[in-house]
Amino acid sequence: MQSTFQSGERTEAVKGLMQQAEAAPTWNEAQPLVSEAIVAQLLEAMKAWKVPKAEQAHESLRRSGLDQLLVEALLRGKLTYQASDRHLNRLRDAIRSRVISVNDIKNGILAFDGAAQRLAIVSGKNGPFSYITRGNHARDSLITFARSLHR
């Protein structure tokens, strides 16, 4: 029996994205493709875990651009303050220029946090991805920013 992660059209799309990423001449060209593939796989996992509003969380991650931060964190094995700060600055600029709605940013941060927590749990203690919820300055910055957007 095939798992949810390996069935259907989404798997073919992910395979196609990864093939395009492998063929890309530079990491900068490959990263968006890899991000899209990872987030598509994450969506399938969220559906399998019966996460409420998985589609909306996926869309919020994509619209806010925090899918890129999630991939960066996964590649590094943890969320760094520098990466978090860089994305927060980008989000502040997006709010000022009205490129991304405040709700999309807030929902994207919450979706990022939930996804990162789930990935850390699946990774296991001392696994390849760590995302602690206490004393994590990078996470605290994201959550504080999301709370400040509540108007």
pLDDT in tens, 13-22: 888 888 898 9
Number of domains in the chain: 1
Nearest to 31 by CA among 71, 60, 58: 71
pLDDT value, residue 151:
60
Q: What pLDDT shows up at residue 14? A: 81
Q: How far is residue 61 CA from its own chain's centroid?
A: 6
Query: Is the distance from CB of 140 to CB of 97 less than 8 angstroms?
Result: no
- According to the model, what pLDDT value does residue 85 have? 97
Question: Which pLDDT score, from 0 to 100, does residue 90 have?
Answer: 96
- Give me the pLDDT at residue 78, please: 94
The pLDDT of residue 31 is 82
- DSSP label at residue 130: B
Distance between CA atoms of residues 59 and 112, nearest Å = 11
pTM for this entry: 0.81
Per-residue pLDDT of the chain (151 residues; tens, 9 = 90+): 333 444 456 678 888 888 898 999 998 898 888 888 888 888 787 777 787 788 888 888 989 999 889 989 998 999 999 999 999 999 999 999 999 999 999 999 999 999 899 888 888 888 899 999 999 999 999 999 999 987 6
Helix (H) or strand (E) holding 92: helix 81-97
- The answer to whether the CB of 111 falls within 8 A of the CB of 67 is no
